[in-house]
Amino acid sequence: MVAWRAVNPATGEEGEEIHATPLEAVDPMMQKAKIASTRWKQTPVAERLTYLRRIRYYMTEHFEECAELIVQATGKPLVEAATHELFIVADAIKHMEDCAVRTLKTRKAKTPLTLFGKQSTISYHPRGVVLVIAPWNFPFQLAMIPALSALTAGNSVIVKPSEVTPTVGNLMERIFAAAGLPEGLVQIAHGDGTLGAALIEAKPDYIFFTGSVQTGARIQQEAAKRLIPTTLELGGKDPMIVFADANLERAVRGAVWGSLANSGQACISVERIYVERPVYADFTARLKQEVSRLRQNGTEDTDLGSMTFSKQVDIVSDHVRHALEEGAELECGLHPEQWRLTQGLQVQPIVLTQVNPQMKVMREETFGPVMNVMPFDHEAEAIELANDSSFGLNASVWSRDLNKAHRVADLLECGGVCINDVMVTIANPYLPFGGIKQSGIGRYHGEEGLTLFCHQKAVVLDRGTKPAEVNWFPYAGKYPVFGRLIKSWYGSRRSLFGFIRAYLELMRKSK
């Protein structure tokens, strides 16, 4: 890959030419990043935040320009470019400005009585060079937040944006340049998986990857060979459980938005809807009516944009075809044979009923505008169905009985749960975000989103006034005394007096 043209997925029109980063440029980029990180880590956190503030101001001052560019790169509606990309990044920056100094400050840790006279602290130190490999579905948000978090923690960053949405990488490059960041601190590397492999081979100090399970597993394998720590934000197959006592109007509207926002191309999109049988028919009827109201017209007020990546359209088509062949009913949308995508990737929303847990649409990540609705009869069945997945990213529970909702939420195998809401966990910058099972490794956002880009250093201080410690040489005569100390402090008949007496005797034997 030497050069290619960006494509607007909504129209099929070609845009600017993108020049790939040469493979021979990778090592110089890494060296440049290492030099920059050495200087940057000495910069106080408060001073680092002044650069983030400039980025936030630039984004707001050039809001319309940024939103339009994201729309052209991804095909998503303007409102989603504003809310899912720009708003979330701006809010994340504000959160870092508010909490980073406190979060990254050296803090005291408790010291046990057995280490009497000592003081303990924990300090946070940058890892060095962080490689951020970003996806195409939210190309701005999912690159900027980890990159800015890593910068705030004192690291330099190399960002490899997706080759599917390269113009967003160019946008980020302009934003970082406008902020006046030191040379080499943030670098953008354009290319495909071959470039990504070369960047990993160059041994960054940390890798943050967002993307598919298959690619994430390969990255983890290559990182393990070099003992490079990683965070992997991977796929999802998020369940939505709707109980009969739920606010059905809200649940239906939440299901439609949670399934179809960004044309379903979100790791936390609702991909499985389980509805308690007494309201299943009513829910499905309302769902079809709500979907029919959506606008997909390419205007500023459109509700549905296009899909972003043609290969993902093929996966969606395959899943829908398989479901229909296996007996699913098509309630809304067109059969894939009728899709006409010659001038853009606008896929009409699909609603499927009569689905079962063995179908691809219920087991594999579809990542498209498809809603699968299935009834359940009791609470335990809903939990079992929701947990019957190799993914575990997010989920939602819908009920007016909040005790029941919390009870069910506690039993769901996932990294986050929304109660009477959907997908909102990622929008709260104070919450950690991530999944279990095949949905990934690690968490970001919240305070953990800063500390994950640091290594923690434990320090124990002794004033050095004693000639020796009780556990140092010589050992002569100490074994029975240590036995009394351990039994008096950790045994069933705890005795502070016995502990002190044994400790003083050990001190005498250590002179």
Find residue 175's DSSP bridge partners. Answer: none
Tell me how far apart the alpha carbons of residues 294 and 296 are, in angstroms, rounded to a whole number.
Answer: 7
Helix, coil or strand: residue 239: strand
Full DSSP string of 48-88:
HHHHHHHHHHHHHHTHHHHHHHHHHHH---HHHIIIIIIIH
Query: Hunting for tokens 């993914």 — which residue is that?
Result: 391
Catalytic residue among 80, 85, 163, 267, which? Answer: 267
24 assigned to active site? no
Both structure tokens of 379: 């609470």
Tell me how far apart the alpha carbons of residues 19 and 166 are, in angstroms, rounded to a whole number.
Answer: 10
Tell me how far apart the alpha carbons of residues 318 and 413 are, in angstroms, rounded to a whole number.
Answer: 27
For residue 511, count CB atoms less than 10 angstroms from its CB and return exposed for 0-12, middle for 13-18, buried for 19 or more: exposed
254-289 burial code (b ≥16 CB/10 A, e <16): bbbbbbbbbbbbbbbbbbbbbbbeebbeebbebbbe
Pairing relationship of beta strands 238-242 and 230-233 according to DSSP bridges: unpaired
Both structure tokens of 392: 């575990």
Catalytic residue among 85, 163, 233, 276, which? Answer: 233
Beta-strand runs (E) in 377-475: 391-392, 394-398, 416-419, 436-437, 440-441, 454-462
267 assigned to active site? yes
Find residue 242's DSSP bridge partners. Answer: 275, 398
Asked if 86 and 78 touch (Cβ cutoff 8 Å), the reply is: no
Tell me how far apart the alpha carbons of residues 408 and 405 are, in angstroms, rounded to a whole number.
Answer: 5
Tell me how far apart the alpha carbons of residues 212 and 112 are, in angstroms, rounded to a whole number.
Answer: 45
Tell me how far apart the alpha carbons of residues 189 and 195 are, in angstroms, rounded to a whole number.
Answer: 8
Asked if 360 and 318 touch (Cβ cutoff 8 Å), the reply is: yes
Both structure tokens of 322: 């398989």
Q: Which residues, in sequence order, are CB contacts of 422 under 8 Å at separation 6+?
A: 240, 254, 255, 257, 258, 270, 396
Name the residues annotated as catalytic: 233, 267
